[in-house]
Structure 1
Amino acid sequence: SINFKNISTDPPKTQGFCTFKPLPPAEAQEERHFLDLIALPETPLVPTPLSLEQTSHPANSTFTILPKSGGGEWHVGDQLEVLIKMFDFQGHAKKTGGDFLVAALHSKGLGAGVTGRVVDHLNGSYSALFPLLWEGSTRVEVILLHTSEAVTVLRMLNIERPDRVIFKGVFRSGSVSETTVCNVCLPPSNQSQCNYTDLHTGDPWFCYKPQKLSCEARVSHRITGYKYQGIKNEKEKLFQKGVNLKVYIKASGPDSVTVLPQTGGQSGPDDGSEKLGPSGYYYKGVWRALDGTRLQQFNNSTAISQCLKGKMVYMYGDSTLRQWFEYFKASLPDAQEINLNNPVRVGPFMILDNANNFVLTYRIHGLPLRIFSIPASKERYVANELDGLIGGTNTVVVLSIWAHFSTFPFELFIRRMQSIRRAVVRLLDRAPGTLVVIRTGNVQTVRQSGMMNNSDWYVYQINLVLRAMFKGLNVQWIDAWGMVLAHDLAHNLHPPPPIIKNMVNVLLSYICPKK
């Protein structure tokens, strides 16, 4: 994770056409707090036309493994520090911060990996700090996800172009059908609007009113494409795969260290590692927690079924959580899937095991959704669903809400999570034994167009808000960001099966804590 010092708390200087309903004073103050939390150092203005010459260039930038403090050899339990220096296309040292960097240690032969904490010194240099947790040769990897100049563009896109994903509402009455543009907020227009803001949660949604039909005639929601006007220009140069978008930075000198066994005078890998950032690490392909959670391996259907015995598991979220439902479906051949002809990818879906008396359900979260089609009758906001649960010691709630919010002003995500948090608090108040587990967002595949609409930078900010939003509540976390970044498999919005297996094992370890 990245820790920025001297964070600016100034409000955004540019306001787009999205306006949100005023909040009560306490919630408004909290919203400002979260916006301040994700405020970044001032990043350079991006002129038009754009010249790349003075922008960050990973091919000219380097990282250096610093000698061990006090000298000597590296041992398990030590902290490794790496210094990263950024340069522009002309080879000049950068003088400002704001580049979005991630770092990890990998020992491929051992199936081992851990993320590092990146600190921005705001002068063109960065530090990456790693706990050394296993023996053997360990390689450092530093990746520039986005230049500071690209971050400037990403930051402004969410304010100025929140409509760059094209959503449509389909209206139908008898043989008459119409389609209009819909979104969280619509550009100013003389057209009348239909207001579908949820009365209980306050979550906004609007469509332009059809010419012939009433607002009540809306039957479905869908995504139809993306707008690139105003984006496809010189600024595209800041999002070039293999040039300045998700590029590995090379080492000036060795890129690996040899780690020796822990010595008697050292504190050990679990002490102090929490302050370094990572929640866990891989060893021999298995995720190990650093927060004291005793993780178990559930390697067959019997072990999974025994853990789920008597449980009701409710999964609410996006397709990255549907992956877990599909993993359970494949891993539990004796359980019965009940689908009642519900829409593909939408749900609700259910797995029922009468012999072991457990139920797993999945339902997609409410709008906005980048999905081909969802009937309006199947749209549900998570907070409303949580308010319908009885809860208790046999109830498990799993949440994964992040990927569909990355094109909007951050206020939208903050308010959605405030609403969900209130519902979680109500659930835990009436049924304190309920287990609530939250999956964070993760790093993704690199695609030029995708990075402007689903950038890892957006996801990282969302994760910061998530963590702060639920701080102090009795919820458990699955650190998908760290679990994808620490693995040596390619990054993907939908992580590959070995990572999913580890994530589900963490979930099951929360459900069935080791005595």
Structure 2
Amino acid sequence: MYFKQLKFSLQSHSAENLSVGDTLRVVFSARNKQGNIITNTGDYFRASIFNLKTKSGAVGIITDHKNGTYTATFKLLWPGEVNIIVKLVHPRQAIEVIERTVWEHPVDKIMFLKRYLIGKAKVDTRCNVDPAVLNNNTPVCNYSDSQAGVRWYCEKAANIFCNTSGYHGRLPTTVKLLRKGEEKLFGRHVFYHCSARMTSTGLDPLVNRTRCMPGLPTPQISGFYDGNVWNSLVCHNRHFSNQSEWRACLRGKTLHFMGDSTIRQWYEHLVKLLKLSDRPLSDAIHQTGPLLARDTVNNITVKYRSHGPPLRCAWTRTFHLQYVANVIDEIEGGPNDIVGISVWAHFTTYPVDMYRERMEAIRAAIQRLHQRSPQTLVVIKSANTRTGKELLAGDWLAYQLDLVMREMFEGMNVVLVDAWEMTTAQQWHGDAIHPTSDIVIQELEYLCSFLCPL
């Protein structure tokens, strides 16, 4: 197996006398039985430096030298003992399989339904982003919206108008994606683990941090955990010790959250933290919304709604599924409005170009929002790490979308909540599509650092 051929060496400028602020490097490559480097390029690694006892952690930066050799670079950001871990998520050969499945099945890995209820009868029609995968003998309803960056089509049901409301859901289908033996290429491998100790304190990485404001650049290492507390290296982020501090920061604010279920977690946690009065709107389900919660005493309003198709969800009314760009266009905006967006988890089964179209439309809508209301705070939550379903929704697929998102919003007057780094940096929880509560709260505290900056 390829991962068994990987060899490592720990390098640093002073391995015997390390201080906070120093850099550690791990160089690794695969070698055959003769000791020659195997020129595998394009492997997907993740690396982090951590201490489980103190719940401290930060990411390592992987450099592919394109010759079969890789370097993982770590910044020493807290005193005491550190452990280094490097994971091979996918070798290049597994990535090639993933890329082939995208080429062979660009849109039909998952199919969707629009269901009409006619009396007691259920009438189902198949839907997706390309009418070519629908029934060629059936007329098609075109629900595309170019301004929202959306392509969406459904088979037309007999004797039912296209604009008739129905229910959106997922069609249970199974597409065979792997060829014989390819399953052996998948499975994460922790193949390097070592420890080091800082003998002197060195430079404090948190001194001279700037005040949090939109538009700040995100460095390669954007923060680190120490004592299970996220310390941003972007700006001076804040933390709350009680409910009163949360309420003081959010008083008078309206928060519009939209996207997938990873940002619905923001809504759910604020409802719990602030003890808000929470209820779905008429005919809505909690999974997709729209949801509304209020604190009338402190004038705090929190909203959530899922993005429009493609969306893997329980049956939900089609008129509730609006596209993010269109929802943004309906927000008047102002200094007390916060728009939070996370769109990625339901796009991993499609080619990256389709995701790019959607995000370009969202970017244009944000630009229009800032033209009419420059003071409106816009927050983009990145993807986060997860495990399993490598061919449909795995880490590598999510990471490709995350790279596009970062490119799309670079230089804009928005805030990036780097959930990818916040989930990669820690080693005390497993990867999960829905991060644990302590991570979500750190994301929200970072958001609030821009509402009531220190």
TM-score, with length taken from structure 1: 0.81
Contact 2:165 2:317 in 1 (8 A): no
The SS at the match of 2:346 is helix
For 1:142 and 1:226, locate their aligned partners in 2 and report how far apart those are by CA, in whole Å. 36
Q: Greater share of strand residues, 1 or 2?
A: 2
For 2:174 and 2:119, locate their aligned partners in 1 and report how far apart those are by CA, in whole Å. 32
> CA shift at 1:374, angstroms?
1.8
Instruction: Give the aligned partner of residue 63 of structure 2.
Output: 119
- The count of corresponding residues between Structure 1 and Structure 2 is 442
What does 1:220-299 align with in structure 2 at a 5 Å threshold?
Answer: 220-231=167-178, 233-239=180-186, 245-251=187-193, 255-263=194-202, 277-291=220-234, 293-299=235-241
> CA shift at 1:332, angstroms?
1.5
Contact 1:314 1:398 in 2 (8 A): yes
Q: Deviations over 1:150-208 (max 9, x none)?
A: 11111222232121112112134445532122111143553332211025424111112
What does 1:406-445 align with in structure 2 at a 5 Å threshold?
Answer: 406-445=348-387
For 1:403 and 1:88, locate their aligned partners in 2 and report how far apart those are by CA, in whole Å. 38
Contact 1:314 1:361 in 2 (8 A): yes
The SS at the match of 1:350 is strand
> Does residue 1:469 correspond to 2:414, yes or no?
no
Contact 2:338 2:376 in 1 (8 A): yes
For 1:164 and 1:92, locate their aligned partners in 2 and report how far apart those are by CA, in whole Å. 40
For 1:373 and 1:402, locate their aligned partners in 2 and report how far apart those are by CA, in whole Å. 20
> CA shift at 1:215, angstroms?
2.6
> CA shift at 1:427, angstroms?
0.6
Deviates more, 1:424-433 or 1:224-233: 224-233
For 1:451 and 1:467, locate their aligned partners in 2 and report how far apart those are by CA, in whole Å. 22
Contiguous gaps of at least 5 residues in structure 1: 1-55, 240-244
Instruction: Give the aligned partner of residue 510 of structure 1.
Output: 450
CA 1:268–1:261 in structure 2 vs 1: closer, same or farther (change >3 Å)?
A: farther
> CA shift at 1:330, angstroms?
1.1
CA 1:275–1:289 in structure 2 vs 1: closer, same or farther (change >3 Å)?
A: closer
For 1:256 and 1:322, locate their aligned partners in 2 and report how far apart those are by CA, in whole Å. 38
> CA shift at 1:309, angstroms?
0.5
Instruction: Give the aligned partner of residue 246 of structure 2.
Output: 304
- Amino acid of the structure 2 residue aligned with 1:83: V
Instruction: Give the aligned partner of residue 179 of structure 1.
Output: 124
Q: Deviations over 1:384-404 (max 9, x none)?
A: 111111111111111111100
What does 1:46-85 align with in structure 2 at a 5 Å threshold?
Answer: 57-66=2-11, 68-69=12-13, 72-85=16-29
Contact 1:172 1:213 in 2 (8 A): no
> Does residue 1:455 correspond to 2:394, yes or no?
yes
The SS at the match of 2:78 is coil
TM-score, with length taken from structure 2: 0.91
- Amino acid of the structure 2 residue aligned with 1:451: E
Instruction: Give the aligned partner of residue 52 of structure 2.
Output: 108
For 1:413 and 1:76, locate their aligned partners in 2 and report how far apart those are by CA, in whole Å. 40
- Amino acid of the structure 2 residue aligned with 1:372: A
> Does residue 1:347 correspond to 2:279, yes or no?
no
CA 1:76–1:199 in structure 2 vs 1: closer, same or farther (change >3 Å)?
A: closer
Contact 2:148 2:324 in 1 (8 A): no
Instruction: Give the aligned partner of residue 336 of structure 1.
Output: 277
For 2:33 and 2:131, locate their aligned partners in 1 and report how far apart those are by CA, in whole Å. 39
CA 1:88–1:197 in structure 2 vs 1: closer, same or farther (change >3 Å)?
A: farther
> CA shift at 1:496, angstroms?
0.8
- Amino acid of the structure 1 residue aligned with 2:168: H
1:190 is aligned, of 132, 136, 150, to 136
CA 1:230–1:103 in structure 2 vs 1: closer, same or farther (change >3 Å)?
A: closer
> Does residue 1:216 correspond to 2:155, yes or no?
no
Instruction: Give the aligned partner of residue 38 of structure 1.
Output: none
Q: Percent of pairs identical after alignment?
A: 32
> Does residue 1:367 correspond to 2:309, yes or no?
yes
For 1:325 and 1:156, locate their aligned partners in 2 and report how far apart those are by CA, in whole Å. 37
Contact 1:443 1:485 in 2 (8 A): yes
CA 1:211–1:231 in structure 2 vs 1: closer, same or farther (change >3 Å)?
A: farther
> CA shift at 1:224, angstroms?
2.7
Instruction: Give the aligned partner of residue 30 of structure 1.
Output: none
Contact 1:60 1:91 in 2 (8 A): no
> CA shift at 1:90, angstroms?
11
CA 1:503–1:211 in structure 2 vs 1: closer, same or farther (change >3 Å)?
A: same
> CA shift at 1:73, angstroms?
1.6
- Amino acid of the structure 1 residue aligned with 2:150: D
Contiguous gaps of at least 5 residues in structure 2: 210-216
Instruction: Give the aligned partner of residue 53 of structure 1.
Output: none
The SS at the match of 2:113 is strand
Instruction: Give the aligned partner of residue 95 of structure 2.
Output: 151
RMSD of aligned C-alpha atoms? 2.3
For 1:226 and 1:60, locate their aligned partners in 2 and report how far apart those are by CA, in whole Å. 38
Contact 1:484 1:499 in 2 (8 A): yes
> CA shift at 1:94, angstroms?
2.2
For 1:359 and 1:294, locate their aligned partners in 2 and report how far apart those are by CA, in whole Å. 26
Deviates more, 1:306-315 or 1:165-174: 165-174
For 1:350 and 1:298, locate their aligned partners in 2 and report how far apart those are by CA, in whole Å. 24
